[in-house]
Amino acid sequence: MDAVLKVVEQVNGKVNNFVWGIPMLVLLVGTGVLMTLLTRGFQVSHIRHWFENTVGAIFKNKHVTAHTGKEDRSISQFQSLCTALAATIGTGNIAGVASAIVSGGPGAIFWMWIVAIFGMMTNFSENVLGIYYRRKNSAGEWSGGAMYYLRDGLGGFRGCKNIGKVLALLFSIFCVLASFGIGNMSQINSIATNMKSAFRIPNWVTGALLMIIAALVIVGGLKRIAAVTEKLVPVMAVAYVVGALILVILNAGNIAPAFASIFKGAFAMKAVGGGIVGSGVKAAVTWGMKRGVFSNEAGLGSSVMVHSNSNVKEPVTQGMWGIFEVFADTLVVCTLTALAVLTSGLVDLNTGAMLTSTEKTAMVAEAFSLEFGAFGSAFIAVAILLFAFSTVLGWSHYGTKAFEYLFGTKATMFYKIIFVVFIMVGATMQLDLAWDLSDTFNGLMAIPNLIGVVALSGLVRRITKNYIDRTLKGKDVAPMYSAFEDIQQEEMRS
């Protein structure tokens, strides 16, 4: 078994280095920049509008949170957000941020922010295209995602029919594989490691318990997953944000130096004491972007698969939820985690050197335990348990939709069973390999998706302009709800 793992690790290392080379990072950030330019900086120029129509609408518009009827296989906008956040707010927000600081220095956080700011519009575009090209499956459930806008959108261009089909097929395969990495093994491994560290619970016991709980939820389908995540996500996110805020406030004197180390490290500038913050620009950029993508998943084309199940009819409305998703995940939760670590004294803010030998996953727990004692490490262990397990639930749906595209709706039960079994594998496997596999599958999954978004960028611009003209400027123009005439007419009648 060790020999097999060693071979897998070597092969994965070579693929990982190829996938996460400079061209990939340029494509990733470049797509966000392109969409920002084409929509005239929608995430900034219309910040008030998308805030009011996302988190603000939760308190003003009952339709946003109202559950759909038993016969309706779609879910509410709020449920789609919670399920998407369940998948994105995971170990990337805790262990991933610590990993970025260890491997890329404090400067990696700056590049994580850059990925998030432009990633908002990548996620926006994915959701717009997801709603525009979605179809209903044989069970009456919406099916949307990169595979559909690659096949029907990109594939609709002259001479691109086969290219669209091939890219859709590759995306689906990579998504299924990624669901076992980013969405299962790496998450479960972090849970098991932290539960053993905090409570002395053996990894296999954690794995067995999570297998049982996951099976009860996942086999029940999207509505059961959404019902769980809409209750779990708000509670866990608020609790963690409050805890991190308290920790940062207790170390308020280090907040300014922490930000200084982030900006200096991002460009490898000389620190006051003559050292170099972080481990160089290349490491800071690479690790910041890798961990940023792992955290908010903008560019992967993953969360669009659950956003497409929303009962919304406006593509741009669901796109705005995508903007908020990235904002909440990276600019709020990840930033607080980074500040909690950097202000705790575990990192030399002058040179970027680590002042602890604690492994990456447990670094945040150590930061909390310095102020809160045993309660701090226990708090992080429980936070990782909730964050990571909710990610498993969200990603089980992503993998299910990709598997459905490949093999049909009836075959998805087989996937769900295998997915649940792999929870035990994740609980007992080597941590570094789990993270490396996740990075590789993330990159492979992002490539066809980003090609699709770039190819259809003009369409996203037109749909966005159409929405702005109708809702903000009051122009009398026909709405753009769907690429398919039957769905377009149905949505216009509703």
- Residue 482 falls inside a structural domain: no
Q: Would you say 301 and 446 are in contact if contact means Cβ atoms under 8 Å apart?
A: yes
Contacts of 293 by beta carbon, 8 Å cutoff, 6+ apart: 28, 115, 119, 299, 300, 442, 446
Output the pTM of the full model.
Answer: 0.86
pLDDT mean over 378-399: 85
pLDDT mean over 80-105: 75
Please state the length of the chain.
494
Confidence of residue 387 (pLDDT cuts 50, 70, 90): confident
- Residue 233 falls inside a structural domain: yes
Side-chain-facing half-sphere of 374: CA atoms under 13 Å:
2
For the stretch 276-324, pLDDT in tens is: 444 466 677 777 777 777 677 788 888 888 888 888 889 999 999 999 9
- Residue 487 falls inside a structural domain: no
pLDDT mean over 247-269: 88
pLDDT mean over 364-368: 86
**In the predicted model, is pLDDT for residue 416 greater than 80?**
yes
CATH of the domain at 306: 1.20.1740.10
- Residue 344 falls inside a structural domain: yes
For the stretch 195-244, pLDDT in tens is: 887 788 888 898 899 999 888 888 877 677 777 777 777 788 888 889 99
The Cα 72–Cα 268 span in angstroms is: 54
Q: Does residue 132 or residue 58 have the better pLDDT?
A: 132
- Residue 231 falls inside a structural domain: yes
pLDDT mean over 12-22: 63
Determine what percent of the chain is predicted with pLDDT higher than 70.
84
Q: How many folded domains does the chain comprise? A: 1
pLDDT mean over 459-488: 93
- Residue 485 falls inside a structural domain: no
- Residue 479 falls inside a structural domain: no
Q: Does residue 353 or residue 128 have the better pLDDT?
A: 128
Give the domain range for residue 277.
Answer: 2-474
pLDDT of residue 225: 79
Q: Does residue 432 or residue 122 have the better pLDDT?
A: 122
- Residue 494 falls inside a structural domain: no
For the stretch 333-365, pLDDT in tens is: 889 999 999 998 888 787 777 777 776 657 888
**In the predicted model, is pLDDT for residue 153 greater than 90?**
yes
**In the predicted model, is pLDDT for residue 93 greater than 90?**
no
Q: Of the given ranges (67-71, 462-466, 476-480), which has the lowest mean pLDDT?
A: 67-71
- What's the mean per-residue pLDDT of the chain? 83
Which of 12-21, 176-185, 274-283 is most confident?
A: 176-185
For the stretch 48-81, pLDDT in tens is: 999 898 888 777 766 665 655 666 556 677 777 7
Q: Does residue 117 or residue 444 have the better pLDDT?
A: 117
Confidence of residue 17 (pLDDT cuts 50, 70, 90): low
The Cα 340–Cα 342 span in angstroms is: 6
